[in-house]
Amino acid sequence: MKNFEFYNPVKILFGEGQIDKIPQEILPYHTILIAYGRGSIKRNGVYEKVVNALNGKKVIEFGGIEPNPRYETLMKAIKLARENNVDFVLAVGGGSVIDGTKFIVASVPFEGEPWDIVSKDVKVENAIPFGTVLTLPATGSEMNAGAVISRDATKEKYAFSSPAVFPKFSVLDPTVTYSLPKHQVANGVVDAFAHVLEQYLTYPSNSTIQDRFAEGILQTLIEVGPKTLENPTDNNLRATFMWSCTMALNGLISTGVPTDWATHMIGHELTAFLGLDHGVTLAIIYPALLTEMAEFKKEKLLQYASRVWYLSGNNLTPERAIEETEKFFRSLGVKTRLPEHGISHTDIKPIVDRFVARGWKLGENQNITPDVVEKILRRALEPYR
């Protein structure tokens, strides 16, 4: 186990009706900006509950934060917040709204060009406090201090993080997720599953507790993911799925272990250039990457095969574990090959070119060089089976 720091001060308010606890969490604040997405919260009743909870405060609204929240959109929210002296932001939505809100709260008091926060890793020292009401379990953003922001003009998608952008609180009410479209839930399962793999499928590091927790989240997602799709109003399934997603990326399972994150880095470019949903990109890249890197990940792949997929005997191989992983993604209705999205060799060229230009070396061993990225993308271009 490597040395590590762990700090996560987010207060979680979990369960049906917890939106009602928001007033006691925002006592010191006066002007609240509600940040949300494309209006589903107005159709499912969440908006009304949130507005009731903010009774007595000055409330400003900013809707229209899109999936893969865009710098161009968020700059408008930053202007609005500055003009109104907003002192607290309430993000109501999924990971994109919460990530976008993190950029907003960091940018409002920031004196330079906000894009530098993401593109140049400029340190965020201050931020307006904010809370979240999670409506789409997937990214874990509700209990971490990271965000991913896209810029339309340059087709860039970058991550930033700072302890200043931990939410003060996050409301996780499984009942508000009942009306989610199936494909969003399926993408959420893949996203959470991939988050765990990025922190687990590397090389052994004598981190027994972290491995067991990671395996526990994977086992849980395998158990409840498909069932959640079939029984959208089963509260226990929804609750378990929601809590799994939060646990998958709140810093706990990455304590003291090597991490990969290459699948996310490659997937971000598929989104930036080709507009694929984030979860979809992970379902495509992960099987291809594991196949390409199986040699370096062999020990953990075998552990994963045994403990998560219960493979044994002749089936206890990295290949079988990768097969099961891809089959799981497909069982959720998520396609795992580029041609299934009408993407061909010519489409991936600008992505490979960008990795070549950057010269990045990705993965836990920094051995996923641009040529390896190309090999992974070529594997993802092969048809399934």
Give the shortest CB-357-to-a second copy separation in angstroms: 37
For 83-105, letters b (16+ CB in 10 Å) and e give: eeebbbbbbbbbbbbbbbbbbbb
Q: Contact between 229 and a second copy (CB under 8 A)?
A: no
Q: Contact between 17 and a second copy (CB under 8 A)?
A: yes
Alpha-carbon distance of 156 to 169, in angstroms, equals 30
What CA–CA distances, in Å, run from 29 to 47, 217, 234? 19, 36, 36
Which member of 44, 84, 219, 365 binds a second copy (CB under 8 A)?
219
Q: Contact between 208 and a second copy (CB under 8 A)?
A: yes
Q: Contact between 158 and a second copy (CB under 8 A)?
A: no
Q: Contact between 15 and a second copy (CB under 8 A)?
A: yes
Task: Give me the residue label for tokens 């999670």.
Answer: 134
Task: Select from 12-20, 31-39, 114-122, 266-274 the region that touches a second copy (CB under 8 A).
Answer: 12-20
Q: Contact between 178 and a second copy (CB under 8 A)?
A: no
Give the shortest CB-1-to-a second copy separation in angstroms: 4
Q: Contact between 299 and a second copy (CB under 8 A)?
A: no
At residue 253, the 3 state secondary structure works out as coil
Give the shortest CB-53-to-a second copy separation in angstroms: 16
Alpha-carbon distance of 89 to 129, in angstroms, equals 7
Alpha-carbon distance of 98 to 139, in angstroms, equals 9
Task: Select from 1-9, 38-46, 111-119, 352-360 the region that touches a second copy (CB under 8 A).
Answer: 1-9
Q: Toward a second copy, which CB reaches closer, 9 or 275?
A: 9
For the chain, the residue count is 385
Which member of 240, 263, 271, 336 binds a second copy (CB under 8 A)?
240
Q: Contact between 134 and a second copy (CB under 8 A)?
A: no
Which member of 7, 56, 83, 342 binds a second copy (CB under 8 A)?
7
Answer whether 105's CB lies under 8 Å from 165's CB: yes
Q: Contact between 233 and a second copy (CB under 8 A)?
A: no
Alpha-carbon distance of 39 to 164, in angstroms, equals 28
Which member of 233, 236, 366, 367 binds a second copy (CB under 8 A)?
236
Count of CB atoms situated within 10 Å of the CB of 381 = 17
Any idea what DSSP says for residue 245?
A: H
Q: Contact between 85 and a second copy (CB under 8 A)?
A: no
Give strand pairing partners of 132: 91, 170
Q: Contact between 207 and a second copy (CB under 8 A)?
A: yes
Which member of 34, 86, 124, 239 binds a second copy (CB under 8 A)?
239
Which member of 18, 96, 175, 336 binds a second copy (CB under 8 A)?
18
Alpha-carbon distance of 290 to 20, in angstroms, equals 44
Answer whether 377's CB lies under 8 Å from 269's CB: no
DSSP 91-135: EEESHHHHHHHHHHHHHTT--S-THHHHHS-PPP-----EEEEE-
Q: Toward a second copy, which CB reaches closer, 14 or 360?
A: 14
Task: Give me the residue label for tokens 């880095």.
Answer: 265
The footprint of a second copy (CB under 8 A) covers 1-18, 206-209, 212-213, 215-217, 219-220, 223-224, 236, 239-240, 243-244, 247, 252, 255-256
